Amino acid sequence: MKSIPEIVYRVIQSCTVDVENGEWQAADKKLLDLVKEVEKRIAAGEKGVAAELAAVKEDIADLILKKPLEVAVRVDNAPAVDLGLQHFQLPSLVKMASTGLNIFLVGPAGSGKTTAAKNVATAFGIDFHFTGAIASEFKLTGFKSASGEYISTEFRQAYEHGGLFLFDEIDASYPQAVLAFNAALSNDYMDFPDKRVTRHEKFYCIAAANTYGQGADRQYVGRNQLDAASLDRFVFLDWKYDEKLETKLAGNRTWSLYVQKVRVVVEALKIRHVVSPRASIFGGKLLAAGIKREVVEQTCLWKGMDEATVQKIKANLVNVR
């Protein structure tokens, strides 16, 4: 097997002011210096600058809030691949994937696990293959039809010809079906129904889940406990919500901040309800289309929650900074 390509990162911070060479910190310093200058003018008794100072401080708040990562990745001597705005943990995921280890990506619903896996494939210049939760091992291995023809799978294509395979919602799969995965991940070959296949040197594997494979929890009640031998074949990465990226994608700062405050309260009160970035993004689109705020809250945020619980959450929003 050839050595894993060296991955070189160029990580840039995006902001709302004109920045040269991606140096958002320089822009931030420029604004802070401007604040000091305006404060000196106020101290000197100059009139009419208080509003100017408030506007500059608002610009700084926007700059700090709206700086999701922009990531470019270079593999070997190939031109850098500009991935644009990305989750703040993507550089870590790309580094981990470059080692060839199998990665178990654990994160809440709507945190961008699938998108992250696709972007790793794009960064490496390889095909992306996808399979959701499975109930039978044949979804991975394939099978022979009644006529004797082999029916292939996404996993087989990636394993034999190279590519990144995402096993999405692996923790919702039947544990016995996942066991067929074990030999392929541990060895350089796997026996498929038609023949033995050698693992391609550019095969990468990411499994995405809402839990650690230990079974159902308070939020994700439909998850299964996976076999310890299956879990042992992965390294684990906790994938969190990126609220800066969420706000940027939502396109509505006021709405997104409200959603994020509701999320804090829901988690603090241990209410069995998911408030994912999709609430911000979908709500932002509905608000932009002219849908009334109360309708957007019902369709994107509360989703059938009883009124008493909604009021309990709203009452606790005052405690969130």
Q: What is the pLDDT of residue 83?
A: 80
147 and 268: one domain?
no
201 and 112: one domain?
yes
Q: What total of structural domains would you count in the chain?
A: 3
Q: 188 burial class (0-12, 13-18, 19+ CB within 10 angstroms)?
A: exposed
23 and 124: one domain?
no
Cα–Cα distance, 242 to 222 (Å, whole number): 25
Q: What is the pLDDT of residue 15?
A: 27
Q: How many CB atoms lie within 10 A of CB 307?
A: 8
The CATH number given to whatever domain includes residue 134 is 3.40.50.300
162 and 301: one domain?
no
Cα–Cα distance, 221 to 99 (Å, whole number): 33
SS3 231: helix
> Is position 28 within any domain?
yes
Q: What is the pLDDT of residue 183?
A: 86
Alpha-helical runs (H) found in 6-49: 24-43
Domain containing 315 equals 243-319
Out of 198, 220, 238, pick the residue that ends a domain: 238
Q: What is the pLDDT of residue 21?
A: 32
SS3 8: strand
- What's at 67, amino acid-wise? K
223 and 274: one domain?
no
Q: What is the CA radius of gyration of the chain?
A: 24
Per residue in 72-115, pLDDT tens? Answer: 776 666 677 778 888 999 999 999 999 999 999 999 999 999 99
177 and 217: one domain?
yes
Q: What is the pLDDT of residue 18?
A: 23
160 and 229: one domain?
yes
pLDDT < 70 positions in the chain: 1-32, 55-69, 74-78
Return the closest-CA partner of residue 232 out of 166, 159, 181.
181
Q: What is the pLDDT of residue 80?
A: 74
CA distances from 177 to 47, 141, 243, 304 (A): 74, 10, 35, 35
Q: What is the pLDDT of residue 34?
A: 72
CA distances from 225 to 132, 148, 216, 222 (A): 17, 35, 7, 10
Q: What is the pLDDT of residue 203?
A: 96
Out of 223, 238, 253, pick the residue that ends a domain: 238
> Is position 77 within any domain?
no
Q: 244 burial class (0-12, 13-18, 19+ CB within 10 angstroms)?
A: buried
58 and 179: one domain?
no
232 and 289: one domain?
no
